[in-house]
Structure 1
Amino acid sequence: MSAERARHGGSPAPEVTGDPRAHARGLAEVFDAVLGDRPSRQAPRPVVSESWRRSLAAHVDPDHRTPPVVFAADQLPDLRAAHPLSACLPVLRSTLGAIADDAMHVMLVTDAEGHILWRDGAAAVLSTADGVGLVPGARWSESAIGTNAMGTALAVDAPVQIHSAEHLVRTYHGWTCVAAPVHDPETGAILGAVDVSGPLHTVHPALLQLVSATARLAEAELRVRLALADEQLRMRLLPHLTGLGGAPGALVSAAGRVLAGQPWGWWPDRVPVPAGDRPLQVNGREVVVEPLDGAHLLRVVAPGPAVPRAPQPRLALRLLGNGVPHVLVNGRTVPLTLRLAEVLAVLALHPAGLTGERLAALVYGDAGNQTTVRGEVRRLRALIGPELLRTRPYRLVPTVVSDVAQVQAALQAGRAQAALAACPGPLLPGSDAPAIRELRDELGAGLRRAVLATGDLDLLQAFTAHPLGRTDLEAHDRLVASLPVHDPRWRRAAHRRARVQADS
């Protein structure tokens, strides 16, 4: 039987409806006719027909084939630890793992080449899976074992359901399986596939949607982790960018995403970083690439049209979240006490400057006095340098950046996802200063409004797990009401809402 014969014409075979065994008998007739070069009233679905063609071209024998076991058991722990999807295992197990146990399925997670790395399920079905090679370390690409949900999903980069005789190898005609690819948010490349497989009678019409949603949930988990890693990278490497003295430059990730750049708006979102030390061209200018730990620094060096010179951010404030507040002073990290962070935050809000009386009122409230303020300002000037904190009135140098301003800018631009990613938590959560309380409430409310207004369920879910939304009962209610009950995210959302209700 030739690979070309797998293109056999006729009406496409229907999706699984009604009795799965009756449907399997119909698929078996199509299988025998097409692979036996006999006329058939129906043809395989296009995704199946094309997969058969690829598999046969790879010399997969429909009658005598088992998947090769590529990795031994003692190799798997290192492979799993190094694979990006290891971070998603809790999410996958809390959704598909429970379903696999209840419905006699096995949940499988592969790498991009189709090697099974993880497997969960009820003991009985795992024993059956052992007998057909659905085991960790086995390779389930189309070229290795023919048409199957995992291998075909990886081949076509889309969710796939393969039922009974749609598998090219007869051994698996008693199985039904659904798989969806999971992508790297950094590069868009396929990282692997998540799959649910089980005996023929366990097929369910909602399984494809369920597995697809779970794959998206894993990608959302990876996006959140990437955003946090980006922020940590920016904070650690920002001194390299500020060290350019306002000259055009950018920090980019290892994959070429621009994490920070100056001047604002001049750099594209992504730069194709060349291998080695070869220069590249950006916007008609020659750019030198300097490797950093986990990133690259780009510097514009060639003469050409003038690039607007950005003012050097000599002070960079980090005031959001539960960590220790600090300030980057000309690239040097200086930890701050809560009171000093409050004074700096208030001064950053008032670039024109404040009198001692007004600064005392904003930081201390009615109990404030100018003598106390003068003492805090003296301590600050000793920490960051008198040239950066002026007096009469009290004011900071003009080139100040802050994580608060970054979130505010994203909100003003209507970029709710970017604002949430840039905000690790509330503004100085331990502060009771009147100005800080007001700004903290304003920032939290603005972020909440922006997220709810998008209608994006992935973003809403991220907000309900965020420090600013974790106890927001209305946000939890909206998420639970918006998700279909068969969506794997619904169970987790309902559980979180119940906890918030119990604590309120």
Structure 2
Amino acid sequence: MSYAHLDAYSRLLRGAHETVATSAVATGRAWPESPRHLIKASWRRSLDAGIDPEGKSAPLVCDPASIRDIRAAHPLQPLLPLLAQTLSGLADETGHIMIVTDGDGRVLWREGNHAVLSSADHIGLAAGHQWGEQNVGTNGIGTALATGRPVHVYSEEHLMRVLHIWSCSAAPITDPDSGRVIGCVDVSGTARTLHPATVALVAATAKLAETQLALRMHERDERLRRRFESLRGRPGILLSSTGRVISGDPAGGLGDRVHLGGPFPPVTERAGRRLSLRDGTAALLEPFSDGYLLRPTPSAAPPTLTLSLLGERNPTAAIGDDERPLSLRHAEILALLTLHPHGLTAEQLSFHLYGDAGNPVTIRAEIHRLRGQLGEAIAAKPYRLACPVEADFMTVRRLLTSDDPAGLARAYPGPLLSRSESPEIRRERDELEAQVRAFLLRRGGPDELWVYAQTCNGRDDYEVLERLAALPAGDLRSVAARSRLLL
């Protein structure tokens, strides 16, 4: 792109940025058309996260004294010479800097032009500072991590005005062992000097790092496999420390990976843990060298997941006796997985929740957080519930086919996730409400209709109140119904 084209694009971006930063959010006016879709979507996420366009720096989130230990423990530490050899020489010669972050956007390493490094200090582009979108808004590192792909962010495409003299090309790095994004490699410089094509080199460097990680992973696997094969009888199934199936499951019943739940602690901290497998059976996890042996115990039934999603109370989930509150988004995901027992991909979940505007990356992040609460109850590829489930709205569904109006009235405290805007949940909610109302009007007596009249939709239901108002004048339910009809 020529400097003339860059100048023209910069002028368009400045106008768009001014509209978004000052008036569009406050007044509800239409968003400008100038930025690319990638940037516009990032601006929306950043503003939703409360980013101030007039902010001055990325936050410092790590104690400088702890950076050395964090670096030493990070899986990219052994690959730093490779990354530096590939990018930092170019960065130094052309007036740029190379940045390597962890999977949360925390800067761990940087190299390059000394003058640019000095300028970078002023905006927190330095070790220990965090560059996620939720911290500084649209930027190469944060947007690459948010979208899961290489990106180039030019000048005024940054949401924070202080970053408009910068441009950056960044690409996420995925660990083939854990399947998680563990870092990001970035080249940053002034807007005029960093060519957009730099993103191709950065993306190639990230792929090179992933290739090296895969080679190291296969070497570890081979060492584990040799130790496993030396065992007499080869008991159990061999897993890596991150849950990948290495040996002992020739039929592939476990899939590629067993979800171990949450971040990966030292192997010994998971010793003796009971897991629920994808077929619903339980298994014990035992440490073995740098990995695990998984010993299925089919006779041990996994705990039941109990979902309470109906009515005006806050939704909850319980694993056995351990009940926990759910955010609306997590409740929606669990409701959809209950309705689709064979599972849904991230793309399908995203469509059911958000329609065409959905983003599978957002769903994967939500599933990761949900697994932190429910652990092995949620399996992957596709996402599905891997344990017995009892959901109050499914109980209501079953009662609609029975001859038990009293049981149905007791089981239905109100609509399914009444605040949800998910297209599929709205359909399920409306259908369930209509069926319960029709069933109770057709087969229920005064007691059942009175229970329904306490729900948010039943309180003002004219036909239900008329039925109750027809009760004898001394019946308090009749008095209450007539009072509501007069309002």
User: If the TM-score is normalised by the length of the shorter chain, which range does it land in?
Assistant: 0.5 to 0.7
Structure 2 counterpart SS, 1:43: coil
* Superposed displacement of residue 147, structure 1: 1.0
**CA displacement 1:463-503 (0-9 Å, x = unmatched):** xxxxxxxxxxxxxxxxxxxxxxxxxxxxxxxxxxxxxxxxx
* Superposed displacement of residue 26, structure 1: 2.7
Query: What residue in structure 2 maps to residue 32 of structure 1?
Result: 18
TM value normalised by structure 2: 0.54
Query: What residue in structure 1 maps to residue 274 of structure 2?
Result: 278
Assess, with a 3 A threshold, how the Cα gap between structure 1 residues 76 and 262 changes in structure 2: closer, same or farther: closer
* Superposed displacement of residue 23, structure 1: 2.9
Structure 1 counterpart SS, 2:273: coil
TM value normalised by structure 1: 0.52
Query: What residue in structure 1 maps to residue 186 of structure 2?
Result: 195
CA–CA distance in structure 2, aligned partners of residues 207 and 94 of structure 1 = 16
Query: What residue in structure 2 maps to residue 214 of structure 1?
Result: 205
Query: What residue in structure 2 maps to residue 155 of structure 1?
Result: 146
* Superposed displacement of residue 237, structure 1: 3.8
* Superposed displacement of residue 19, structure 1: 4.5
Assess, with a 3 A threshold, how the Cα gap between structure 1 residues 33 and 301 changes in structure 2: closer, same or farther: closer
Query: What residue in structure 2 maps to residue 111 of structure 1?
Result: 102
Query: What residue in structure 2 maps to residue 296 of structure 1?
Result: 292
Identity %: 43
CA–CA distance in structure 2, aligned partners of residues 300 and 95 of structure 1 = 46
* Superposed displacement of residue 205, structure 1: 3.1
Query: What residue in structure 1 maps to residue 246 of structure 2?
Result: 259
**CA displacement 1:161-188 (0-9 Å, x = unmatched):** 1111111111111111111110111121
Superposition map of 1:375-386 within 5 A: none
**CA displacement 1:339-375 (0-9 Å, x = unmatched):** xxxxxxxxxxxxxxxxxxxxxxxxxxxxxxxxxxxxx
Query: What residue in structure 2 maps to residue 235 of structure 1?
Result: 226
* Superposed displacement of residue 58, structure 1: 2.1
CA contact (8 A) 1:287 1:302 kept: yes
Query: What residue in structure 2 maps to residue 92 of structure 1?
Result: 83
Task: Give the letter aligned to residue 33 of structure 1.
Answer: T
CA contact (8 A) 2:57 2:124 kept: yes
Assess, with a 3 A threshold, how the Cα gap between structure 1 residues 272 and 34 changes in structure 2: closer, same or farther: closer
**CA displacement 1:289-333 (0-9 Å, x = unmatched):** 322232121335548xxxxxxxxxxxxxxxxxxxxxxxxxxxxxx
CA–CA distance in structure 1, aligned partners of residues 107 and 296 of structure 2 = 45
CA–CA distance in structure 2, aligned partners of residues 169 and 177 of structure 1 = 14
Query: What residue in structure 1 maps to residue 398 of structure 2?
Result: none
* Superposed displacement of residue 136, structure 1: 1.1
Number of corresponding residues: 286
* Superposed displacement of residue 214, structure 1: 0.9
CA–CA distance in structure 2, aligned partners of residues 136 and 82 of structure 1 = 15
* Superposed displacement of residue 279, structure 1: 5.2
For structure 1, the 5+ residue unaligned runs are 1-14, 304-504
For structure 2, the 5+ residue unaligned runs are 25-29, 262-269, 300-487
Structure 2 counterpart SS, 1:62: coil
CA–CA distance in structure 2, aligned partners of residues 54 and 246 of structure 1 = 50
CA–CA distance in structure 1, aligned partners of residues 54 and 298 of structure 2 = 64
Query: What residue in structure 1 maps to residue 6 of structure 2?
Result: 20
CA–CA distance in structure 1, aligned partners of residues 40 and 171 of structure 2 = 19
* Superposed displacement of residue 286, structure 1: 5.6
**CA displacement 1:369-398 (0-9 Å, x = unmatched):** xxxxxxxxxxxxxxxxxxxxxxxxxxxxxx
CA contact (8 A) 1:20 1:200 kept: no
Structure 1 counterpart SS, 2:248: strand
Assess, with a 3 A threshold, how the Cα gap between structure 1 residues 124 and 19 changes in structure 2: closer, same or farther: farther
Task: Give the letter aligned to residue 256 of structure 1.
Answer: G
Pair 1:250-2:237 in alignment: yes
Superposition map of 1:466-477 within 5 A: none
Assess, with a 3 A threshold, how the Cα gap between structure 1 residues 288 and 125 changes in structure 2: closer, same or farther: closer
CA–CA distance in structure 1, aligned partners of residues 289 and 182 of structure 2 = 23
Query: What residue in structure 2 maps to residue 127 of structure 1?
Result: 118
CA–CA distance in structure 1, aligned partners of residues 141 and 158 of structure 2 = 11
CA contact (8 A) 1:16 1:23 kept: no
